[in-house]
Amino acid sequence: MKKVRQPTSLKCFACGRENPLGLQLEWFNNYDENQVEASFTLSDHYCSYPGVVHGGIVATILDETSSRAVLLCNDFTRLMVTLKMEVVYKKITPTQTPLKAVGRVIKNGTTRAQVEGEIRLPDGTVSAKCTAILYKIPQDVKEKWGAEAAEWERTTPVINAMD
């Protein structure tokens, strides 16, 4: 199975390569499953209670993962912002544990999309999930991106062979 790595940002808290305080996660397009995926382990720097990932961090990962699902087409002009998101915390999401986030598109329109995401524990159990409504980023907001816009435009997808 081949997976295509999505571009990352410079300063974004979730994916920014130049953000020393961020999560620095990477997402891959899994075309076989029609979803985006990120595998990661969070340190205790992101905990609320000992050994438990803070709910705000869980929501951040779900927000980023679900919104990246609209980029499965490799058209990074499709970046959108979240208008509304509902998160359901089903189980504790542990720190120091391999986790997987997946995101899928439910409905995809020209200016809006409905997406969903989930975080899975090593045994496949869902610890948290979300549904969200996304909206096309207004051009006047994009015009303020500067180096960030150029980063998304210059970055080409990287194909990795994954088992």
The tens place of each residue's pLDDT in the chain, 163 residues long, gives 678 889 888 889 999 888 999 999 999 999 999 999 999 999 999 999 999 999 999 999 999 999 999 999 888 778 899 999 999 999 999 999 999 999 999 999 989 999 999 999 999 999 999 999 999 988 888 777 777 766 666 554 544 444 3
Domains in the chain, please, with CATH? Answer: 2-146 (3.10.129.10)
Contacts 24+ apart (CB under 8 A), 52-57: 52/92, 52/93, 52/94, 52/95, 53/92, 53/93, 53/94, 53/95, 55/87, 55/89, 57/23
